[in-house]
Structure 1
Amino acid sequence: MTSTTPDHRDLEQIQTIVRDVQEGFNTNDASLMNAHLADDAIVVNARGAVLFGRAAIQKASEDALAAGYLNESTAYYELSDVAGLSADVIVARKNAWSTKQDADDGDPPEMNALYIFVKRGGRWLIWRRQNTIVSS
């Protein structure tokens, strides 16, 4: 399969999605963090739990952000390796640090994630996401 560079409009939409995920995470807003999930999304979270469907992902996010293991956490994301697989499928990798300063300082990412985006009804959605903590 040959990949292509996504159209600039598609790339802007993908970047907006990742910014919304970051902003939702940093403000403990599970609704914003998950605003761009497909109803049939599957996410593997940072603890390795496999979550099936938007409702389950939303519930787990609310629990983790409200008073759970992510409540005090912040993140800075950098999107990379964005490739179009077809007109309605984009795959991308996201590096993550606890702060923008850590990224600016050249520290290695603390986590990375593989995203698969699908275009449905004229908009891009997160269809699959696999988070991986990077061990130091």
Structure 2
Amino acid sequence: MTLTAPPRLTHPLDPEDEAALRRIVRDVEDGFNRNDPALLSAHIAEDAVIGTARGTWATGRAAIDEANQAVLTGFLRDATAYYEFSDAVALAPDVAVAQKRAWSTRDAADAGEPPEMIALYVFVRRDGRWWIARRQNTLVA
């Protein structure tokens, strides 16, 4: 068996695409901080799958909307978040992934505290715009 170098599977994003993905994550942050479930879900595809803050899966836009409403009126109603977007790359011309780190406040991030959560987003471009197809939030112990 001959060993070969593994393929390079990611490519830099076009600056306009990266800016669009950053705006989407900023809308998610703003939706959370404003307790606005419509903004929180605005960029989620109809067939998306989201790992929720409760450690469950929400599949499809209706279930995701319901989960967002539940957390914004329930146990995270008074919570705030500050997100740092990073590591956005293209996997294919219309598929991208990105990561975010999250803290309860910007002050916590600026103070150098470790993130309280990390997340992986999978975006798909359809009809000229980007959509969240998958998102997995992971709380940091």
Supply the AA of the counterpart residue of 2:44. L
Please name the residue that 2:128 is paired with: 122
Please name the residue that 1:59 is paired with: 66
CA contact (8 A) 2:52 2:67 kept: no
Please name the residue that 1:43 is paired with: 50
Supply the AA of the counterpart residue of 1:23. D
Mapped partners of 2:75, 2:12: distance in 1: 36
Mapped partners of 1:46, 1:101: distance in 2: 22
Shift of the alpha carbon at 1:47? 1.8
Structure showing greater radius of gyration is: 2
Per-residue displacement from partner, 1:43-89 (whole Å, max 9, x unpaired)?
001221100001100011111102x1110100000011111101100
- Report the count of equivalent residues: 134
CA-based RMSD: 0.7
CA contact (8 A) 2:86 2:99 kept: yes
Please name the residue that 2:107 is paired with: 101
Shift of the alpha carbon at 1:41? 0.3
Is 1:74–2:66 an aligned residue pair? no
Supply the AA of the counterpart residue of 2:87. D
Provide runs of 4+ in structure 1 moved above 3 Å. Answer: none
Please name the residue that 2:26 is paired with: 19
The residue matched to 1:79 in structure 2 has which SS?
strand
Percent identical residues:
52
Structure 1 spans left out of the alignment, 5+ residues:
none
Supply the AA of the counterpart residue of 2:100. K
Mapped partners of 1:5, 1:74: distance in 2: 31
